[in-house]
Amino acid sequence: MKRIAAILATLVMFANAALAQDSRAIYNKYSDNDDVSAVYISSSMFKLIGKLPSMEFGSSEMNLAPLIKTLDCMYVIDCDDSGTIRNIKEDLSKYMKKNKFEMLMEVKDNGEVVRIYTSGDDSTVTHFILTAAEDDDQYTLICLDGTMNREELEKFIAKAAKELN
Assigned domain for 145 exists? yes
CB-CB contact of 118 with 102 (8 Å): yes
Report the range out of 13-17, 75-79, 149-153 with the highest average pLDDT: 75-79
Assigned domain for 53 exists? yes
Assigned domain for 15 exists? no
Assigned domain for 9 exists? no
Question: Residue 19 CA to chain centroid, in angstroms?
Answer: 12
Q: Can you give the pLDDT at residue 88?
A: 94
Report how far residue 123's alpha carbon sits from residue 153's, in angstroms, rounded to the nearest whole number: 10
Assigned domain for 76 exists? yes
Question: Residue 27 CA to chain centroid, in angstroms?
Answer: 12
Instruction: Look at residues 23, 26, 22, 45 and name the one whose alpha carbon lies nearest to residue 36.
Output: 26
Q: Can you give the pLDDT at residue 156?
A: 78
Confidence band for 64, pLDDT divided at 50, 70 and 90: low
Assigned domain for 8 exists? no
Domain enclosing residue 63, as ranges:
20-164
Q: Can you give the pLDDT at residue 99?
A: 83
Mean pLDDT of the chain: 78
Assigned domain for 82 exists? yes
Q: Can you give the pLDDT at residue 22?
A: 73
Assigned domain for 13 exists? no
Rounded mean pLDDT of 142-165?
A: 80
Domain count within the chain: 1
Q: Can you give the pLDDT at residue 158?
A: 78
Q: Which residues pair with 71 in a beta bridge?
A: 146
Q: For the whole model, what pTM was predicted?
A: 0.76
Report the range out of 48-57, 93-102, 155-164 with the highest average pLDDT: 93-102
